[in-house]
Every structure is written in structure tokens, then in C-alpha cells.
Amino acid sequence: RSGQPRQGQGAMVKKRELHPKPLFDEPSLQAFLSRYDVKPVHAGRIWRHVLEQPECPLDEVPGIPDRIRAPLKEEFTVLTSTVVKTYESSIDGTIKLLIRLQDGGEIEAVLIHHSGEAEHPEQRQADRCGQRDTLCISSQVGCRLGCTFCATGTMGLQGNLWSGEIQEQLVHARKLRGVSNIVFMGMGEPLENYSGVTSAIRGMTDPQRFGLAPSGITVSTVGIIANMRKLMDDLPKVKLAVSLHAPNQELREQIVPIAKTYDLQELLGVVDEYAERTASDGKRKGMIMVSYVLLEGVNDTIECAQQLRDLVVNRPVIVNLIPYNPFEGDPHGYKTPPPERVDAFLQLLVEAGIRVFERRHHGRDIAAACGQLAKLGKSAPVEDIE
């Protein structure tokens, strides 16, 4: 079975057929090896070699049985996707990659550099947590959830990515910069492509492939509760982030339509469960990121700030405030709150002892900021990398 599932959470998802298949798609490669009665250990040998020598034809990989050389080359390719354009922010160096898939679909990934230095003494941003390069990757082509502030939701869901296609975004990005952190905050709802995403994470953390630390990977979800619990069982060291965006059930249903299915209090119960399960031997409970996009006149009032404070004040969470990033074709006409309104919201949370960051608009000038990914193809391109 491929790393691209046929069914998402609560909705049938169009199955995408790929030929040749992605070499980094572990379920596909292991099924191939099993068919030829070849030991699974050969998969690691193949991945390790192509990462060291990407130009080597697959039928020339050393140390594999001769009987699989020709069919391996016929059935698989190292990269099924290509980078068709890159955009680099003139403000902060953020790079957006427009990636074309084998079947003609297009996705976007964003490479964000964090300098680790404060831009001003009062800076209260996550950039102060050390220098690193973070890759924001996509898990689906489009998204069915229709969050009202998000450009991807205007596309609808066109299909799930195979686990190999998800890992290929990392391959493309590493040609530009070293990548130490992964956030599943690109196009799509990661937990509606559960098998594809978890298979990709196992590949990214496999020492024979990409060797990333599980703790450097964050999966963001609007709250697919059953799969949040499943992720805690299957990949306990991976971090969770929850896209909240409202402090009460009624408002959340207006901003995030899927909230009609997932009750806010039940979602917060999973947050509590995550904190308990990530604590061990009396150690500090694991922190969970709570994202909150600020929409002027919608969810940025002092009353909303007070309600959010009351929801999270006794929970081990970090609140990530994100002033709305406008996108072309926004059907709701949302606006970004003025800085003083953002500051007042933030300050109320800080005074309650809540850890809170205001997220920088990384890549906003190239439509690469939070909520802007929708294959718009805007801004001046830099030199293509392929």
C-alpha cells in the first residue's frame, strides 16, 4: 500500500496514481522489495546511496540484487516532482518553492531562516530561540476544510500527497539551505492525510535517510481529534500545534467551519492529554503551540483576549499570535489589526503569565506567510534551482 491513503478523516479523497513511483515512498518501495523476495534492509541501502549520489541511475545502485535493477529503474524515480520557480523575500530572505507534481498539480513549500537575534529590544518573537532554518511543508494539494482566513482553503481538496512527495519537498529545500526543523503548516490538513504524513516523518527522522530529530518536527492541526491521539501513540516525540483562532465555540465555527464537528472543550481536553503524556518521571510537561490568527473586528477584541486567557492560563501552552496576512481573492474581506490592537491583545495574555509570541510575517512580500499559500505565483522570481 502506498503512503498516500485513499480516505481522509470523514471524507473520501481522490486517489492520485503516480508512475514511476517516488523512491522515498517507503510503503511502495517495501512492497516492491517484498514482491521480489528481497530483504527490507536493502531499502536503506538504496536511499542512502541516492542521497549521497543523486545522479546515479537506480539500476546502478551498488549492493542490491541484480534481479531488481531493471524493475527498480522502471517502477521508481528519485524525484517525481520538480521546482518550477523560487521566490526570495527581499525583506527577510524567506524562500518559497513552487513545486510541480508528476500529475500536474502544484504545491508550495517555504524555507524560513531564523537569525536567532532580536530586531529590537522589546521583541517577543520565537526568532529569539536560536539560529535555524525551518521548512514549512505541504501535506495535501489544496484543502477541504475551508478555514476562512486561509488562501489554501479557496482551492478545495485536489488530493493527498504521497509520503514520498512530502519528503521530496525536503530534498528540494536542502539544495538551497540546511534544514533543521520541519513544520507541517503548508497546504492541507496534515491529520487528514495521516498515513502519508506519518510515513514521511518516519523517513525524515530515519538516520539512513534525512536524520532529523523528531523533536524538531511539528504537526499543526485544526483539531482532528482521533488522529491527534493516534499521533501521540505512533510518534510521541513529534510536537503538536493546534490552530485555534477563536476563544469560544460559536466564533470558532464561523472562522473554522470544521469546528462544527470538533467541540472546543474536547479539543482542549486532547491538549491536556498531550501535556500529561509528554511528561515523564516528574519532568516538565510538554508545551503545545496554540496558533491564533488575529482578524480585525472579528477575534481581536479585549473580550476575546480575556476569553482566550481563561482557556489557556492553566495549560502548558505557547500562544502564537499571527496578525492576518491578506491574500488575493479573500472572499471575506478580512483586515490586519493595527499594531496597537495586537499589542493590547498580547499584553493581556502576558500579564496573566501566559507564554506568547507574535509571529513575524516571514515572506509576506512573496505570499509565503501564514495563510497565503495557494499557488498564486506572485512576486519576482529568483534563479530557478532546477
Q: Is 304 a catalytic residue?
A: no
Whole-angstrom Cα Rg for the chain: 21
List 136, 150, 304, 370, catalytic entry: 370
Q: Which listed residue (26, 106, 108, 165) is catalytic?
A: 108
Instruction: Locate the DSSP E strands across the chain.
Output: 7-8, 11-12, 21-22, 76-77, 82-88, 95-100, 106-114, 132-136, 140-143, 156-160, 181-184, 217-221, 239-243, 288-294, 317-323, 355-358, 381-382
Cα separation, 102 vs 26, whole angstroms = 18
3-state class of 184 per DSSP? strand
For this structure, is 108 an active site residue?
yes
Residues ≥6 apart with Cβ < 8 Å to 190: 139, 184, 197, 219, 220, 221
291: cell is 496558533
- How far apart CA 127 and CA 181 sit, in angstroms, is 13
In this structure, is the dihedral angle defined by the CA atoms of residues 85, 86, 89 and 95, taken in order, positive or negative? positive
CB 219 within 8 A of CB 186: no
**Which residue shows C-alpha cell 478545495?**
156
Q: Give 190-211 as a DSSP string.
A: GGGSHHHHHHHHHHHH-TTTT-
Active site residues: 108, 370
